[in-house]
C-alpha cells in the first residue's frame, strides 16, 4: 500500500514539518492533483487547509503541474521543477512525473493556506492584578 512523507510548510514563519502517512491515512491523497486543497486533519492539523504543491517518486523524479496524469514522461523543459538551465534559452528533454498522486509517489509537498480562527477569549489578555 501507499506510504508518503508529507512535508507541511508554513509560509508565514518559514517553518516546515514532516509527517509520515501509511495505509488508510495515505489513501486520502491518492488521485489528488497538484493545486488541490486537502483537510489538515489527515496530517494531524485539524481546522487547517493544505494545498498540494508537488512531490517526487521513489527515484527522485519531480512532479510537474503541466504534465497530466500520474505517469513518467520525457518532456522538453526550459526551466522549473526538474531542470535548472545554465544558459539563456537552454532546453533539455528530462524525465518528469505527472500532476496526479499515485502509489509510486514517496514525497508530497504541501503548504498551509488556511489556519484556524482565533476566538475572542484566546486573544484577550490575562486579567491584571490591582495593588
Domain ranges of the chain: 3-116
For residues 67 and 98, the answer to whether their CB atoms sit within 8 Å is: yes
Distance between CA 93 and CA 6 in Å, rounded?
Answer: 28
Distance between CA 111 and CA 36 in Å, rounded?
Answer: 11
Distance between CA 41 and CA 62 in Å, rounded?
Answer: 26
For residues 31 and 97, the answer to whether their CB atoms sit within 8 Å is: no
The tens place of each residue's pLDDT in the chain, 131 residues long, gives 678 999 999 999 999 999 999 888 888 899 999 999 999 999 998 889 999 999 999 999 999 999 999 899 999 999 988 899 999 999 999 999 999 999 999 999 999 998 888 765 555 555 555 65
Q: Which three cell numbers stand for residue 119?
A: 476566538
Beta strands in the chain (DSSP E): 3-10, 15-22, 37-39, 49-57, 72-77, 92-97, 105-114
Q: Which residues sit opposite 40 in a β-bridge?
A: none
For residues 94 and 82, the answer to whether their CB atoms sit within 8 Å is: yes
pLDDT score of 81? 87
Amino acid at each position: 500500500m501507499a506510504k508518503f512523507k508529507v512535508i507541511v510548510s508554513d509560509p508565514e514563519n518559514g517553518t516546515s514539518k514532516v509527517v509520515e502517512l501509511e495505509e488508510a491515512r495515505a489513501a486520502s491523497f491518492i488521485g489528488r492533483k497538484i493545486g488541490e486543497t486537502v483537510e489538515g486533519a489527515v496530517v494531524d492539523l485539524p481546522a487547517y487547509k493544505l494545498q498540494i504543491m508537488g512531490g517526487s517518486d521513489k527515484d527522485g523524479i519531480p512532479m510537474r503541474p503541466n504534465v497530466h496524469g500520474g505517469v513518467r514522461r520525457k518532456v522538453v523543459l526550459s526551466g522549473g521543477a526538474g531542470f535548472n538551465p545554465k544558459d539563456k534559452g537552454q532546453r533539455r528533454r528530462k524525465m518528469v512525473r505527472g500532476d496526479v498522486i499515485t502509489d509510486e509517489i514517496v514525497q508530497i509537498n504541501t503548504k498551509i493556506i488556511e489556519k484556524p480562527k482565533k476566538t475572542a477569549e484566546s486573544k484577550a489578555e490575562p486579567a491584571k492584578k490591582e495593588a
